Amino acid sequence: MKNTSNSPKLIFLVGMPGAGKTFWGEKIKSEYALEFIDLDVYVAQMERASISALFAQYGENGFREREHKQFRKLVANITVDTVIACGGGTPCFHENMQLMKDAGRVIYLQADVPDLLNNINNSGEIRPLLKGRADVGAYLDDLLQKRKRFYEQAHHILQTKNISLITFDEIINDV
């Protein structure tokens, strides 16, 4: 990764739940020798509670406030080149997208609802916003429509069906 200044280079992966942010973050970490942080894991560690527990205790608004507070601290304290897999809703609250754009490069991993559903079903991960939904596909479609305007502010939009590590070369080497 090109680093012509003393500040660390940051790459933020954004997109819907199931788009592959953590998957690609891990791959990028290995290929480009970057640090990797999964924001959900980081927030859970800093708040000393699981994401599900935080949602249950504080509701989505309370969770988003805590997420934003931890996210700001994280970005301010990073000292090495890092890729960060953000939560699906992270860019949509508390000016987080602008924070990302000011601090580094934002990559939107764009996926269609059938692919999201397939990835979610295969992950076995419990996602608080999807828990107890009768029609997860319809909910994801509605959520995508609400979040799209935030995601599309990213510096780069990559269709997940068409990406490989080579796709990230130019972006990462140009940061």
**What percentage of the chain reaches a pLDDT higher than 70?**
95
Distance CA 126, CA 131 (A): 7
* Amino acid 5: pLDDT: 55
State the alpha helices, DSSP H only, in 6-135.
21-32, 39-47, 51-77, 96-103, 113-123
Task: Indicate whether 120 pLDDT > 90.
Answer: no
Task: Indicate whether 125 pLDDT > 80.
Answer: no
**pTM value surpassing 0.85:** yes
CATH topology of domain 10-169: Rossmann fold (3.40.50)
Residue 38: φ, ψ to 5°? -90, 115
Q: What mean pLDDT comes out for the span 41-65?
A: 94
Q: What mean pLDDT comes out for the span 115-120?
A: 90
Selected residue with higher pLDDT from 68 and 169: 68
**What percentage of the chain reaches a pLDDT higher than 90?**
74
Instruction: Name residue 85's amino acid.
Output: A
The two three-digit tokens of residue 151, written as one number? 């995601």
Q: Summarize pLDDT for 81-92 with one digit per residue, the tens.
A: 999 999 999 999
Taking each continuous run of H as one helix and of E as one strand, the counts in the chain are: 7, 5
Task: Give the start-to-end residue ranges of the domains of the chain.
Answer: 10-169
Helix (H) or strand (E) holding 82: strand 82-85
Residue 141: φ, ψ to 5°? -60, -45
Task: Indicate whether 2 pLDDT > 70.
Answer: no
